[in-house]
Amino acid sequence: MRFGCAWYPEHWPRQRWAEDLRLMRDCGMNTVRIGEFAWSRMEPVDGRFALDWLGEAIDLAASFGIDSVLCTPSATPPAWLTSAHPEVLAVRADGRPEVHGMRCHYRPGSPLYRWFCKRINSALAERFGQHPAVLGWQIDNEHWQRSHDPDTLARFAEWCRARYGSLDALNDAWSASYWSQEYSDWSQLHAPPGSPNPGLRLAWHRFSTALTAEFQAGQVQTLRERIAQRQWITHNFHPHDDLDRAGLVDGLDFASWDAYAVDGPSFDPAQLAVEVERIRSLTPSRKVWIMETQPGSVNWKGTSNPTMQPGELRAAAWHMAAHGAEAVLYWQWRSAPGGQEQYHGTVVAQDGHPRPHYTEIARIGEEFKRLTTLLDQSAPVHPVAVIDRWADRFAIKHQRHHHQFDPAAHVRSWYAAVQRQGLSADLVERLGDQRPWSVVIAPQVHLADQPTIDRLRAFVIGGGHLLIGPRSCFKDDENALLAQRQPGPLSDLAGAQADDFYALETPVPLGGELGEGTASIFAERIGQVEREVAVWARYGQGHGWLAGQPAIIHRPTGKGSLTWCACWPDQELQRRLIARISRLAGIESSLIPPDGVTIVHRRGESGSFRVFINHTAQPQQVELGAVATERLSGTTASNLVLAPWDVAVVG
Amino acid sequence: MRFGCAWYPEHWPRQRWAEDLRLMRDCGMNTVRIGEFAWSRMEPVDGRFALDWLGEAIDLAASFGIDSVLCTPSATPPAWLTSAHPEVLAVRADGRPEVHGMRCHYRPGSPLYRWFCKRINSALAERFGQHPAVLGWQIDNEHWQRSHDPDTLARFAEWCRARYGSLDALNDAWSASYWSQEYSDWSQLHAPPGSPNPGLRLAWHRFSTALTAEFQAGQVQTLRERIAQRQWITHNFHPHDDLDRAGLVDGLDFASWDAYAVDGPSFDPAQLAVEVERIRSLTPSRKVWIMETQPGSVNWKGTSNPTMQPGELRAAAWHMAAHGAEAVLYWQWRSAPGGQEQYHGTVVAQDGHPRPHYTEIARIGEEFKRLTTLLDQSAPVHPVAVIDRWADRFAIKHQRHHHQFDPAAHVRSWYAAVQRQGLSADLVERLGDQRPWSVVIAPQVHLADQPTIDRLRAFVIGGGHLLIGPRSCFKDDENALLAQRQPGPLSDLAGAQADDFYALETPVPLGGELGEGTASIFAERIGQVEREVAVWARYGQGHGWLAGQPAIIHRPTGKGSLTWCACWPDQELQRRLIARISRLAGIESSLIPPDGVTIVHRRGESGSFRVFINHTAQPQQVELGAVATERLSGTTASNLVLAPWDVAVVG
Amino acid sequence: MRFGCAWYPEHWPRQRWAEDLRLMRDCGMNTVRIGEFAWSRMEPVDGRFALDWLGEAIDLAASFGIDSVLCTPSATPPAWLTSAHPEVLAVRADGRPEVHGMRCHYRPGSPLYRWFCKRINSALAERFGQHPAVLGWQIDNEHWQRSHDPDTLARFAEWCRARYGSLDALNDAWSASYWSQEYSDWSQLHAPPGSPNPGLRLAWHRFSTALTAEFQAGQVQTLRERIAQRQWITHNFHPHDDLDRAGLVDGLDFASWDAYAVDGPSFDPAQLAVEVERIRSLTPSRKVWIMETQPGSVNWKGTSNPTMQPGELRAAAWHMAAHGAEAVLYWQWRSAPGGQEQYHGTVVAQDGHPRPHYTEIARIGEEFKRLTTLLDQSAPVHPVAVIDRWADRFAIKHQRHHHQFDPAAHVRSWYAAVQRQGLSADLVERLGDQRPWSVVIAPQVHLADQPTIDRLRAFVIGGGHLLIGPRSCFKDDENALLAQRQPGPLSDLAGAQADDFYALETPVPLGGELGEGTASIFAERIGQVEREVAVWARYGQGHGWLAGQPAIIHRPTGKGSLTWCACWPDQELQRRLIARISRLAGIESSLIPPDGVTIVHRRGESGSFRVFINHTAQPQQVELGAVATERLSGTTASNLVLAPWDVAVVG
């Protein structure tokens, strides 16, 4: 288990370094991420490299037992570079060029910029590629680059030509006869304007992803040719979903995540689990690092930047570790005197002394160290998988129909229901050839590409239990409506299709054998159902077109089944639905935890155990059913008592 | 009575057309609008026309008994045109050029663009101008074009020179000595910046209207020279009030309206009546078509896009027909696979099968067909007129003083009060020589141009009963303050003038012989009143400057009278005020309907009858006073029972 | 005491002037401000001056006993100037040039623009510099000019070179190693982008201030060389804090203020006092004019523009006069027919007749005239000073951490607490050598520059009682974090330092010897306190990191003391804290007025008296303790009864 922080030695006088490293070691840290934005110090003058200070920092850290993750500095080109070559700076959608002083403000497609990146990366790799204390490399920082400059637009036209082959095919894919949008020459293509064609918008999104992937691939190659095999390469993704992460991992050993409580004062346990699991499944290694997380508050929220309450940092760290994170690194170690993020939370304050939560961080460090074997030699075991694709999120996000249909919140609501049932789930882009789950939830497989459909059908026909949500299979892979109603190519397995769909001004009651509940935000009206279909819930009175119609239907198929939840139900009804399907699939969830308590089962060489986390400010009790050992405290009991934000490792 | 939809055959394979037309015919449709955005299919290559497909579509429709309205395609120039001639694209207020893929994004003043429009329109008119199944033509789509390019700015200077004659006159009209704005050369004129001179702003608004009117006039001429006399020409206006519609109808046979529930989940019965009546009065023909209306939901609302409840489509269609609409066309027939409006409501779904509300639409179609003679040979008869001018709305909208003083909502509030009194009203730009109304409401005749004032004075002196609202005659026709207080040149008829006016933070009580009520948002303090003036309401306590002062005053003038309501009262007080004036004018309104029920009286060769519509989700009863026949059901009763959203045609 | 208005004779025909001046005289006015935006009338053609009309207006006013303040017209260059020389127009942050028709839209750094200003100002000064009826001059209007043009950016680089000496020093001051922002050439410097480095942002703010100061200094010089010594020079500042006013007064005889109720329907008595006192202390003369204030409503509020209730204008005028204003001038006299501010409140309406509040204004005029000696020969005497610096406000405003931490509101809350204790306070940029106060409140001395720290230390050590608030001494003068925790260099005097600080989602209870209360928005956790420190308040339960920790501490130092309030308490607790410190300092505040009543003590040759103002809509009573004379009414009583918005001058 790796534990550490982002350290920027370039902000501090050399004589301070040892004290910082001592404080890191004392709170159990064994890893620093380093060099991320330091290009101006690595190459202060065009072509003149200055890497000695970096070597000294790495060596000094190693002398404290702290290994380094080294970053390529491409997110922040130096002023000498951008002032001599302003054509490497991105152009925004409104036509204004980016200026020096920001991050990730370059054109990822610029050959010149790639040349400069290759030169500095080569120097870094040659110098540190064999360094024993360098664990691996991070490429750039939190990809989100897009540019609207003419060269990039020309690349977009090339990309379209390669994807569609002909303008006829492109016009057809984008339904370009709509509003006379048909293109008669490749040079007419442009980036999306304010309210663009959905086909164009998705294509531009994919192109922007591909351009950054190409930019990253060049960096990976530069490193691979120079670094030791044991050094790995990763990238740290972040909560904004501007690019499709699934298209940005080729060549990486694993993907990393920057975990911040974006939507509220605390981490949401479903959101955090979804994020960690989603990133973990991006590469075959099924590894994930938390490359950044907040020690206390952040500084960039529009309203206020509250801190984590005592215990919250520990709950979050253990939650991420339970879900597979092999490292938890805080951002950042110490407040830099200047720069854009003076108010961001840190481990030690501007004066170099620990903040109050240092003690809690030290406790996490101690626990991770003590249980490192248990964690390192096990992995989460989830009986359920949730399918979650950025392309679906992207398509829904820009055409929500109801503004509260946030596709990320929709996925999260299903994950939270899984957690309330005492279970946990993998988050996957697609079903692979191996399908270790008997229950798969596909809350919003919106773009019905053929491989996805084939795999879902194979899963059901092969005996799996599939739950699909509203808006399923509404469009094809080019963001065009299918000439079928939802759930399109799954309709035969569902035994029904949608008559229509509605944005809901007010919640609509649900009733039936799953009990009472409500549907909100969005609902589909299921038409005629086939004979073998069981109606598990119907809409009640309140919406004239929905009243009395099926809302959740279930159709068995041999050993498997397809269940279609045609609306967004409340969380308790979601939980009951998952419980029902899980029972059909033979999944035992003997433990229904109190609200706010999550359970993750891990298994491996180090044994089988469960991690219980109380994500609430109140104490909680869990009846284990049998006497068991809690590994952190070493105590034994059948009734687990969790203090506020407490963690228990049982089994 | 025409009933139909917008049909885009160019989106679908030819073999599908017949099935769509059959489904249209089966729900009672007899009209399609066609060709609106199809330029890229009509002229796929510069100068090469391809109109056979259009002819085939029109012919096939005719074979199903469906006539066509044909559109000039100028709203959406093809990519070959805008890429070869980017100078035809509009420039936005922020200096950025528009890009391909939008609608109405051209420069209406561009001679080159007009040349291209003339060429395609000529080809269309020559091909279809004598076609027996083509009823008429729609020019372009929903005018709102404005451009800030240098050529348009030069045209603006020319327009100003023609309007004002000299810079001295312009500087004087715009009070340009304010902030040293005085122009010393025509080339110094520019479009309004962020917070402009009101005179400049109104002039730019009028110029933009005139430029589009000129653009439209060119298209009308091209068509007129080529089409049969029985084919008419119209334009479809839409709810956004960017341009002055009264300036955009020259040369049209009648104006059309695109009716959408912009402000709420349902149509507001006052808003819809105001819109239909306003458009109807734009041309001497007093005809209006509903060229578009929503079958279910729309897709462009910021919050959510709820559908119409069962019955609402029927209530809205009959409401519009009662108010004079000679056609109701749904937008659109079927969801196109791609394009910007995938989520908009349609009659049949993406798979080509009817949506649930198809049955309701078919009922409307059947009813319209059955009662077509009754409707076609009658017209609405309104005892009241409301004066409503876009120039007034424009001036107030940009200087509201209280942000809730939405001038459209203000007009609507008075119309709703008329409806609550069981009456209905015409909406007119001005009083003509014939004045068939004994009561005229002028809620906000704000810009006191001389002809308007002359006509209002003549109306009162000739025995009419005029009700004026707050902000009346506050400015001259150049958006400059009059050197008189409200109601300016009507003060002698009113017998008083305003001491001052106030934005109201909180409502102020009203009391007097009209009963108790409240005034909100805006109130004028009426000063000394002349002897013959009756004070119908006074402000109560709460606002120091208003307390005890007259709020509504009435002054008889021979057989007529002028009533000045110097504030925005609540709706019930508005109704009582209208009731009082109507009684004076001898208007009988024996029937005060329940809230949410509207009554429109129609008369003509087919007789005299009233259309009752229940715009609520609750059943309503209306006591007719005498036994009468309901034409839709054929039943007879003296007590009308209306189901939710129900319609009755009585008499 | 000066009383008057802004008069724009250029808007009106000459034959109207006498009537306006008569109406002014009749309501007690003795002063007009004139010529402010009249450049296009003063110099209608490049180099051809037309000042006769202005001379006639000044002379005619003088004949009514009304003196003039004359303005340089540089805020509004004529169209002939900006169209011939568009390079004098400012460029906005988004790169778009400003256009003609606005105010203050020029580049203050443009040598060409300065040349034009010098020419017109010379002509004005030569013509009117000896005029007996011209009291003095106002430079430009409400400075806020900033420009992003290339010339200004080059000036910024020069300014930085002068300030920092070397790029190394600049990079160090701005912590530019953060995100590789380090500059290697002066030409790389640029204006702040969207989310800039705090060091760059503050430097740009200071540079923009300096550039405008230089622009103003040129105008001052032009005038000084030509005007009589008795004519003074001022500038009218306004409520928006875009530039640092403390850097904009060099060369002025005194600063003026444009007093508007920006944040609510009425003037806030604390806000208004803070503003007047803040401007008054800007120059050694300790004079301040209210160059503009609203007669009734304004026209630029986003929501609504309510008027002042009867009596409010009088309360506000007396409040400003009590706090040292030597003049109160209304903006403006009469509504201009056109221009951007048609709806702004005026003294007489668009028709040239008085508005209802004219009577109240006449009462103020009469009272000011009657008590002019009393006012002219006295000045406010404040036992307390509040330190308030724009640089602190600027730094906090752009990094609030909690969006409700408005630095202006924070200062205001402390001033309001002083008022509730029956006291009043000076507002100062810094402590001078003379320190006439025994209590000094420094709510947010955020940027710890050495002179400020030195003076604060000297004050405490010299026996003063200093109260500091949260966020004190958090940063250095370059907006970089100190390597010390709050209160940095004052920690030894405080006897403690902050462990950490927190944005508060919800209020936190406070308790201790000051009684119960709450802290909101922002709180610092005070760590270990030294032995001699008294803990006056502690945080209660609710926030895990704060519970039980000191919140307000007090440390005596010889005869003086330092009190640290580490949070933003409720107003009653603020009052109790100030009462406690005042008692220690020997300040008597025998009179605790009812909420909403303020007391200002004035003293001078004309004697010693107190001004009581009731800022509420309810009557209020104040027990004076002894019989005293009320000067306005001439009555005598020991119990003062104040009607709503009433004023009393006692003693």
CATH T-level fold of A597-650: Immunoglobulin-like (2.60.40)
Sequence-ordered list of residues with C-beta below 8 angstroms from that of C587, at least 6 positions apart, any chain: C383, C384, C423, C438, C439
How confident is residue A432, by pLDDT bands cut at 50, 70 and 90?
Answer: confident
Angle at C285 between CA C279 and CA C286, to 5 degrees: 40
| B78-117 residues touching C, CB cutoff 8 A | 94-95
C378-380 sheet: strands from edge to edge: C378-380, C597-604, C607-614, C647-650
Backbone angles phi, psi at A465, to 5 degrees: -110, 115
- CATH assignment of C2-148+217-376, given 3.40.50.800, 3.40.50.920, 3.20.20.80, 3.30.1490.100? 3.20.20.80
* CA B121 to each of CA B9, B45, B90, B228, B254: distance values in angstroms, whole numbers, following the listed order: 19, 15, 21, 15, 19
* CA B325 to each of CA A341, B193, B259, B273, B281: distance values in angstroms, whole numbers, following the listed order: 61, 39, 11, 10, 12
Q: Checking DSSP bridges between strand A607-614 and strand C607-614, what pairing results, if any?
A: unpaired
pLDDT at A15: 97
Backbone angles phi, psi at C576, to 5 degrees: -65, -35
pLDDT at A206: 97
How far apart CA C314 and CA C614 sit, in angstroms, is 11
B482 to C350: CB separation less than 8 angstroms, yes or no: yes
Report whether A486 contacts B355 (CB < 8 A).
Answer: no
DSSP state string for A479-505 = SPBPSS-TTGGGHHHHT--EEEEEE-S
Closest CA to B127 of B18, B233, B49: B49
Work out the minimum CA distance from A79 to partner chain B, whole angstroms.
29
What is the enclosing helix (H) or strand (E) of B433? none
Work out the minimum CA distance from C506 to partner chain B, whole angstroms.
29
Report whether A641 contacts A626 (CB < 8 A).
Answer: no
pLDDT at C432: 83
Mean pLDDT for all residues in chain C:
96
pLDDT reading at C434 higher than 80: no
- Nearest-Cα residue of chain A relative to residue B77: A180
Which of A302, A304, A340 shows the shortest C-beta gap to C195? A340
What is the enclosing helix (H) or strand (E) of A615? none
What is the enclosing helix (H) or strand (E) of C580? helix C571-584
| C293-322 residues touching B, CB cutoff 8 A | 296-297, 299, 302-307, 309-311
pLDDT reading at A588 higher than 90: no
* CA A194 to each of CA A537, B98, C25: distance values in angstroms, whole numbers, following the listed order: 40, 10, 58
* CA B225 to each of CA A245, B126, C36: distance values in angstroms, whole numbers, following the listed order: 59, 9, 59
Q: Domain coordinates of chain B in residue numbers?
A: 2-144+230-377, 384-584, 597-650
How far apart CA B525 and CA B517 sit, in angstroms, is 17
CATH T-level fold of B384-584: Rossmann fold (3.40.50)
- CATH assignment of B2-144+230-377, given 1.10.10.10, 3.20.20.80, 3.20.20.70, 3.10.20.90? 3.20.20.80
B483 to C352: CB separation less than 8 angstroms, yes or no: yes
Report whether A622 contacts A640 (CB < 8 A).
Answer: yes
How confident is residue A123, by pLDDT bands cut at 50, 70 and 90?
Answer: very high
Question: Quick check: is A588 catalytic?
Answer: no
What is the tens place of the pLDDT at every residue in C181-210? 999 999 999 888 766 899 999 999 999 999
| C457-486 residues touching A, CB cutoff 8 A | 475-476, 478-485
pLDDT at B105: 94
pLDDT at B303: 86
Q: Is A291 left (phi over 0), alpha (psi -120 to 50) or beta?
A: alpha
Backbone angles phi, psi at A45, to 5 degrees: -130, 145
Work out the minimum CA distance from A311 to partner chain C, whole angstroms.
9
Report whether B538 contacts B479 (CB < 8 A).
Answer: no
Angle at C233 between CA C229 and CA C237, to 5 degrees: 165
Sequence-ordered list of residues with C-beta below 8 angstroms from that of A162, at least 6 positions apart, any chain: none
B83 to A182: CB separation less than 8 angstroms, yes or no: no
pLDDT reading at C301 higher than 80: yes
Work out the minimum CA distance from A78 to partner chain B, whole angstroms.
30
* CA B379 to each of CA B253, B373, B609, C119: distance values in angstroms, whole numbers, following the listed order: 17, 11, 10, 71
- Please name the residue that has the structure tokens 């989310």: C195
C500 to A306: CB separation less than 8 angstroms, yes or no: no
Sequence-ordered list of residues with C-beta below 8 angstroms from that of A337, at least 6 positions apart, any chain: A11, A350, C175, C476, C480, C481, C482, C483
Report whether A485 contacts A510 (CB < 8 A).
Answer: no
pLDDT reading at C166 higher than 80: yes
Question: Quick check: is C142 catalytic?
Answer: yes
> What average pLDDT does this structure show over C70-83?
97
pLDDT at B302: 83
Angle at A284 between CA A278 and CA A285, to 5 degrees: 90
pLDDT reading at C142 higher than 90: yes
* Burial (CB count <10 Å: 0-12, 13-18, 19+), residue B282: buried
- Please name the residue that has the structure tokens 């805080």: A330
B:C CB pairs within 8 Å = 160
Kindly list the residues from chain A whose CB atom is less than 8 angstroms away from the CB atom of residue B78: 180, 182, 184
pLDDT at B279: 97
The ranges of chain B with pLDDT < 70 are 194-195
| A338-367 residues touching C, CB cutoff 8 A | 338-340, 342-343, 349-353, 355-357
Work out the minimum CA distance from B10 to partner chain A, whole angstroms.
7
Domain A2-147+230-379, CATH:
3.20.20.80
pLDDT at A354: 98
C309 to B543: CB separation less than 8 angstroms, yes or no: yes
Q: Is B181 at the interface with chain C, CB within 8 A?
A: yes
Report whether A451 contacts A430 (CB < 8 A).
Answer: yes
What is the tens place of the pLDDT at every residue in A563-576? 999 999 999 999 99
Kindly list the residues from chain C whose CB atom is less than 8 angstroms away from the CB atom of residue A349: 485, 500
A:C CB pairs within 8 Å = 161
| Site from B153, B168, B179, B549 to mutate, C interface, most C CB atoms within 10 angstroms | B179
pLDDT reading at A44 higher than 80: yes
pLDDT reading at A546 higher than 80: yes
| Site from A148, A170, A175, A179 to mutate, B interface, most B CB atoms within 10 angstroms | A179
In this prediction the ipTM stands at 0.95
pLDDT reading at C590 higher than 90: no
